Structure 1
């Protein structure tokens, strides 16, 4: 089969797959996970059920694929935020602030817990930990963050601490939580957080 033909088929498949995941996301956002059905997704995506079943065997596989795409988008967003910020402490503050708000924008706890059981979630969590540990390591070398604890341990601490952001009601409370978390990482004598509020995702 000609290469161009193969590329055309693959592009079409990607487009259909993207339309299916977009449709699932719209239903999920508007009506919740219980309303996500194969029939509803097919209708929202503008394809037949038979076509849908060629791509996904059931709703669960669609939800997992959607969740994986969401996680990757969030990781890309955090990488982009880091690139736009100078200085290890400033980078970590901006990244953790964005992460905290992304954590608050999830769906109900039962759906979130079920989706996070997938292998993709574990891989993404490791990538996120490594990413934050890299920033902390650079800050430790610069004397900004403490060097008596390994960067990966401090990264895990940050993610665990910011898990509390999901239960906070206000922007200010999340910003304070990020500040407290950062202050726990810095070397003695380094100026404490002044309560700056980095721009959260979508603001």
Structure 2
């Protein structure tokens, strides 16, 4: 097949996949996780059920793909913070604050609560570990624990943002988490 044809087909497939994911996210937001069915997704996306099944075998696969897309977007935002400059300590603070705010803003989300599967968690861990590693190398934070241990600490501590009552409470949580990362001597 000609290259243009292949590119056009790939673009179409990508657009259909994105429409399916957008539709699923909207339906979950509007009607709840338990109301999501393959028939309803196909109908609302404007495609046939057979077409939908060519992209996803079941609702769970759609939800995992939507969640992966959401996590990728979050990681892009976090990466932008690290590329904005500043020292490693300030980058770490900005990343933790942004992560906590995303957790706070998505609290109660049926999709977030149900779909935090292992692949998404591994990407978050790897990203946070890299930021922590750089901060430890510059002396901005303690270096007596591994980046893996520190990332685990940060992600668990900042998960409490989902229960916070305000953005001010989230900010205090971030500062408490940062205090735990700083060297004691």
TM-score over 0.5 (shorter chain): yes
Gap change, CA 1:25 and 1:152, over 3 Å in 2:
same
Question: Which residue pairs with 2:127 in the alignment?
Answer: 131
Cα distance in structure 1, aligned partners of 2:35 and 2:62: 13
Q: Deviations over 1:48-103 (max 9, x none)?
A: 22322222222222111111111111111111122124111211111111111222
Gap change, CA 1:51 and 1:134, over 3 Å in 2:
closer
Calculate the aligned-residue CA RMSD, in Å.
Answer: 2.0
**Is 1:40 aligned to residue 36 of structure 2?**
no
Q: Structure 1 regions of 5+ residues with no counterpart? A: 190-203
Cα offset, 1:184, TM superposition:
1.1
Cα offset, 1:113, TM superposition:
4.8
- Out of 169, 175, 179, the position equivalent to 2:171 is 175
Q: How does 1:66-81 map to 2 (within 5 A)?
A: 66-81=66-81
**Is 1:158 aligned to residue 184 of structure 2?**
no
Cα offset, 1:133, TM superposition:
2.1
TM-score by length of 1: 0.82
Cα distance in structure 2, aligned partners of 1:140 and 1:61: 38
Gap change, CA 1:137 and 1:107, over 3 Å in 2:
closer
Q: How does 1:1-203 map to 2 (within 5 A)?
A: 1-106=1-106, 108=108, 111-116=111-116, 121-188=117-184
Q: Structure 2 regions of 5+ residues with no counterpart? A: none
Considering fraction of residues, name the structure with more helix.
2
Gap change, CA 1:136 and 1:56, over 3 Å in 2:
closer
Cα distance in structure 2, aligned partners of 1:5 and 1:107: 43
Cα offset, 1:111, TM superposition:
4.8
Cα distance in structure 1, aligned partners of 2:120 and 2:54: 27
Cα distance in structure 1, aligned partners of 2:58 and 2:130: 38
Cα distance in structure 2, aligned partners of 1:103 and 1:68: 15
